[in-house]
Structure 1
Amino acid sequence: MKWEAENIEDLIAKFIVGEASEVEIRELNEWCSLSPENQKYLDDSVFIYENAQLPDQQDFDGEKAWDKVKSEISKKNERTRLLIPAWGIAASLLLVLAFSFLFYRQYSKSEEFQFVSENQVLTQTLPDQTEVSLNQNSTVKVEYNERKKTGVIHVSGEVLINIPESKKVEWRVQTANLLIQDIGTIFNVKAFPKSETVEVTVQEGIVKFYSQSQEGIILQAGEKGIYDKSTNTFFKAEADPNVTAYKTRNFSFYEQELQLVIDQLSQIYGRKINLDGNIGQCKLTVDFENEELETILSIIGETMSLDITYDSNQIRISGEGCF
């Protein structure tokens, strides 16, 4: 049969050592196109062959090694002696594959590392220069395979993920049974275990937000995807322009109620802020770029004619209200 295992091994061996004809190369390509597993088998074989000579075996001679094995076989049965005229190199490949198995298993293992943020935002850079910024009380566990150029980022909490434009690694993000497949570059994942929802906000590019049992949704820049745990459904909403403010300290408020503004500032800066009087529904339009909380509140106070009072435990904002 055309695709018998022995025939495939012969094709792969010839291909790796450069002895395959054009017809044989076409046959091998056809076999690889049948399934991802076939392509992976070829890729793994090439990798093993190229990396089989360990540092203390730089002068490894495949022909001599094979001759030694062949002579041992001959001692047991002279009639089964193997000859390797033009196939010496190809035969040595099979020997290399066998004796390199443990080396290959060790080399191909995924790296695993974990980042934990508690009371502050934490930014870490992954081996391919992908940047992950953890909001407070968040955890990221990373599984990374350098050889395969693949990785999984497990998220618990809130994380901003910035993948370089070069995109050298195929990253997938996972939180519980939900998955985010990166097709773009910058997106935020909000997945606190006790929350009833999981949110994915895309700043640049495109991502696919789905589960192990559902196709999910495609999100583009400026969109937010929400998964409702109670109903097991996905839906879209307009992205919050301040979703990454916990990292950037950049804010953009347009006709936003003061109470919502203060709630967000209180959460990000970790300070208790109370509003006194009927001012919570007053609307505010303003932008801030990486300012200290005191500066932001001072500008809000001047803009809206409000009084700001500081004490050791909290900040109080008071005024006459809106008209």
Structure 2
Amino acid sequence: MQGSYFKNLLEKLFQGEITYEQYLDLKDQVKDSTDEEISSGLQSLWDGYSLAEPMELATKFGVLSNIHQQIGVENTRNSRRTNWWRYAAVLAIPLLIISTYYAAFHQKTKYDFTVLTSEGEKSQLLLPDGTKVWLNSGSKITYANDFSEDNREVRLIGEAFFEVKKDAKHRFVVATEQVNVEVHGTEFNVSAYPDERDTKVSLLSGKISLIDPTNNKTMATMKPGYQVAVNKNLHRWLSYSCDVETEALWVKSVLRFENAAAGEVFTKLEHWYGIKIHIENPDTSIRYGFTLKSESIREMLDLINKITPINYKINGEEVFIRYK
């Protein structure tokens, strides 16, 4: 590992100025380095700042809990200090949260933690209140550093499945552009991708209320086994029964379609693989039923070809399809 280059990348990371190419370099260097090298680099950077006060314990716990959930490391008291830093350094870049630490050290102010997933990737995190969140491809979740029992609110762009820690006295809120979801303890899925017409909320267990963010009025109260779709253009919503477990199978790395319209299928496949699909001659009458687990893009397209004959071409991250 090149010591000075590593320290320079860390400096850019803490200041929020790191580029994507530099992020990849830093991630590779962290993976290939020893605990002692990482500790030395971070300590050198740490000593270069005049910190007004240490990081709040609650903030540190929240960050490290998220790190554990992301990389599957058990929280043990005997973990070495350098290992904590290794995990933090590896994870902090894709989560884009460590760039807020510097401001937090120098002044008492509110700031946000933001967790991102790239196209074709998924992640899991644990919120400070014990709520578990699975974040789907191309999604972002944001919550404040003062997230606590009195402020259990997150903002979501994209799709996430929530297993909310039960607390009858304090509501948990998922805020999206079209609808806010209020719960006290339950399991549900929210899909709020900017490029999709509908924001969809599916309830697996418990009870939730959907709130109109423009007037704070209740739009609907949901019961398990139902999905509500809020149309972004018409500002209307529709409630219907659905197989919520199937809707949430993506958290187990399974994507299943049952009599699904072609448009819905290809939209979900775009998020699943992190690609852009172009249909030359779309047919809205076509319905699909199949399951994906670890299939490649080409294997997926061959599967579709067996159901409805197609010609396809893969060009990098773009796929062109024409029905025969």
- TM-score by length of structure 1 reads 0.50
The match for 1:258 is 262
Displacement of 1:262:
2.2
Equivalent of residue 220 in structure 2, options 217, 221, 233: 217
One-letter amino acid of the counterpart of residue 131, structure 2: T
Deviations 1:143-196 (A, max 9, x none): 6565xx444222131342432676698442142695422244221234467877
The match for 1:114 is 113
Deviations 1:106-136 (A, max 9, x none): xxx9997512315344432113432223342
The match for 1:274 is 278
Q: Distance in 1 between matches of 2:181 and 2:260?
A: 30
Structure 1's unaligned 5+ residue stretches are 1-108
Give the root-mean-square deviation of aligned CA atoms.
4.0
Q: Distance in 1 between matches of 2:152 and 2:256?
A: 32
Does structure 1 residue 158 correspond to structure 2 residue 162?
A: no
| Structure number with higher relative contact order (C-alpha < 8 Å, ≥ 6 residues apart) | 2
Q: Secondary structure at the match of 2:218?
A: coil
Q: Distance in 2 between matches of 1:209 and 1:283?
A: 30
Q: Distance in 1 between matches of 2:168 and 2:112?
A: 19
The match for 2:188 is 187
Deviations 1:48-83 (A, max 9, x none): xxxxxxxxxxxxxxxxxxxxxxxxxxxxxxxxxxxx
Q: Distance in 2 between matches of 1:177 and 1:318?
A: 34
Displacement of 1:289:
3.4
Displacement of 1:283:
2.8
Q: Distance in 2 between matches of 1:305 and 1:194?
A: 28
One-letter amino acid of the counterpart of residue 258, structure 1: A
Count of residue pairs the alignment pairs up: 210
Q: Secondary structure at the match of 2:142?
A: strand
Deviations 1:35-56 (A, max 9, x none): xxxxxxxxxxxxxxxxxxxxxx
8 Å CA contact retained: 1:160, 1:244: no
8 Å CA contact retained: 2:168, 2:185: no
The match for 1:205 is 206
Superposed, which structure 2 residues align to 1:17-36 within 5 Å? none
Structure 2's unaligned 5+ residue stretches are 1-107
8 Å CA contact retained: 2:139, 2:159: no
> Which moved further from structure 2: 300-309 or 199-208?
300-309
Does structure 1 residue 130 correspond to structure 2 residue 131?
A: yes
The match for 1:140 is 142
Equivalent of residue 300 in structure 2, options 264, 278, 296: 296
Q: Secondary structure at the match of 1:295?
A: helix
Shift in CA distance, 264/110, structure 1 to aligned 2, threshold 3 Å: same
One-letter amino acid of the counterpart of residue 270, structure 1: G
Shift in CA distance, 166/155, structure 1 to aligned 2, threshold 3 Å: closer
8 Å CA contact retained: 2:159, 2:189: yes
Q: Secondary structure at the match of 1:127?
A: coil
- TM-score by length of structure 2 reads 0.50
Q: Secondary structure at the match of 1:221?
A: coil
Shift in CA distance, 234/132, structure 1 to aligned 2, threshold 3 Å: same
One-letter amino acid of the counterpart of residue 262, structure 1: F
Shift in CA distance, 234/130, structure 1 to aligned 2, threshold 3 Å: same
8 Å CA contact retained: 1:189, 1:200: yes
